[in-house]
Structures are given as structure tokens and as C-alpha cells.
Amino acid sequence: MTQLDTWLANTKPLIPVIVIDDLVHAIPMAKALVAGGVHLLEVTLRTEAGLAAISAIKKAVPEAIVGAGTVCTADDFQKAIDAGAQFIVSPGLTPELIEKAKQVKLDGQWQGVFLPGVATASEVMIAAQAGITQLKCFPASAIGGAKLLKAWSGPFPDIQFCPTGGISKDNYKEYLGLPNVICAGGSWLTESKLLIEGDWNEVTRRASEIVKLSDI
């Protein structure tokens, strides 16, 4: 059982993909998600507030399992670890990222989870050759969605996926119903309007709603 498997055994299989522009939103947003039953939080590095938000959530919301998304370089990877990220998510897969993930684990610096993104069968094979068997499928809906993942279950029976990109409350259950999907990621729980307005009750409501939908 991997670390991700252990986390998912105790939390619902949804990872909100979070973009934080203002650091002041980080802690109340994380508390609102946890209150709704969502504990795995991917804070993207698309904004300058990303790393600081990860650090703030890690310290102030111990019930949350916080990770870094949009990690594209080894430098991003290291900065995310230093900020306290418990898992790393990348939109793609590169030799540099594979090497960095191996390095930080071998030297004992980090024992978290690395979810690199794949969009083709060749990339799945490259990841498997590197010993990475849990992958992000991105952008899922644009490259075939649930039909693609179902097709991949044949040639890649030992690979598990976390699809993101086009995942919503309307198709979430379809993805989770696939045997090779362990969790899914989406941005609708923390859309920018909710953060700007500080509508934390709505964040909690959406989280609670999707938790109920995931009971399949």
C-alpha cells in the first residue's frame, strides 16, 4: 500500500485543484474544505502566493493533507518540499522530475507522493519503467476522458490514475467507477469567485455535496 492509498483510505477520493491569488484566503479555504469532508488539497504554483499558502495551510490546518500542483521543474519540486508539501503534482512527466523524485526519497529528505501527469500510452510506459505506478491523467476530458482510462486498464493493469481537467460534479462518479481510478481532481469546489467573496459556507457545502456523490 502506498502513502496515497493510506490517505485515501481515510479521506474522500477528491483532490481540489486550488489557485490562490491572495494568501489571506488560504487558511479559511482549507478549513472550509476540511469541514466538508475533503482533506487532500492541491495548491497550484500558478501564482506567487502558492508556496506561502502551502506553508500556511500545513501549519494551521493539521487535518488537511496539502500538496503542490503545477510543479514543472526540479526547482519547483524542491521549493514545494521546503514549503511543506506532502505530495507533488505535475502536469507532465520529464526526466528531470523523475530524477528529482528519486533523489529526495533516496536521501531521506522527503517521503511524500509524486503524481506526474500523462496524456499518452508512451508516457504511461515511461512512468512505469521509472517505478511510478500512480499517475495524473491530464487533461483528462480533452484526451478521451473515462473512455480513455477504461481502455488503458487493459494494457496497464497495474497503473492507477488521478484524472484532472474537465472533472466536475456531473461526471465525477463516472470516473470513480473505473477500476484504475483512485481519485480525481477538479477546480469547481474553490472557484475564484468563492475565494474573492470569502464564501466559505458555499465551499463547505460543495465539498459536502461531492463527498456524498463519491459514495458509489
Helices (H), 61-94: 74-83
Whole-number Å distance between alpha carbons of 75 and 40: 23
Cβ proximity of 140 and 119 under 8 Å: no
Cell 474553490, residue located = 190
Active-site annotation holder among 12, 42, 58, 100: 42
* Strand ranges for 1-130 from DSSP E: 14-18, 40-44, 65-69, 87-89, 113-115, 117-118
Q: Sheet holding 117-118: strands in order across? A: 117-118, 134-137, 160-163
Examine the residue annotation and report whether 136 is marked as an active-site residue of this protein: yes
Cell 497495474, residue located = 158
Q: How many Cα atoms occupy the beta-carbon half-sphere of 42 within 13 Å?
A: 28
213 phi, psi to nearest 5 deg: -65, -25
Active-site annotation holder among 12, 58, 100, 136: 136
The sign of the dihedral angle between the CA atoms of 207, 211, 12, 15 is: negative
- Residues with a known catalytic role: 42, 136
